[in-house]
Amino acid sequence: MSWTVRLAAVFLLVAMLGAATAVAGPRIHRVILPPPPPLPTSLAFDEDEWSITPSKRVVAAGEVTMRVYNRGMDDHDLTVVDAEGRVHQVYLGPGENGTIVADLPAGEYRIVCSLEAGTPQSHEDLGMWTTLTVRDDPARAPVS
């Protein structure tokens, strides 16, 4: 037998022994799951004709930072109404960007471009809206 055949036989034997011990070994189950990663507290919105695209769909309740980019050729805005009824809004010309910081409790929020509201040219009616889910974050819950 040539040395290459012997070497191949040795490798095959080692592989078979390794596979047998891997199958026969005990399975270890995790008893305690690791904590979930914290939810994000900021996100970005891209606007153009006629859409609003969020970088994330779910964020943590509390202070939320929203960065907005108008990638379209028309003026747009980004508008969100918080649970208290306060309107948070930023107006953007073509190519501009801006930021909204709002304190949002858990809930579902409709994010819209409110330009031309109530007219046939309403940006919201033309598709410039999205939803954002805000959740209480168990990873940030106070320890008692």
- Whether residue 74 lies inside any domain: the answer is yes
- Whether residue 52 lies inside any domain: the answer is yes
The reported pLDDT for the residue numbered 21 is 56
Distance CA 78, CA 111 (A): 7
Supply the CATH number for residue 86's domain: 2.60.40.420
Q: What domain range is 119 assigned to?
A: 42-138
- Whether residue 10 lies inside any domain: the answer is no
Looking at the structure of the chain, the number of domains it has is: 1
The reported pLDDT for the residue numbered 24 is 57
pTM: 0.73
Confidence grade of residue 108 (pLDDT, cut at 50, 70, 90): very high
Distance CA 5, CA 1 (A): 6
Confidence grade of residue 22 (pLDDT, cut at 50, 70, 90): low
- Whether residue 14 lies inside any domain: the answer is no
- Whether residue 34 lies inside any domain: the answer is no
The reported pLDDT for the residue numbered 103 is 95
- Whether residue 24 lies inside any domain: the answer is no
- Whether residue 58 lies inside any domain: the answer is yes
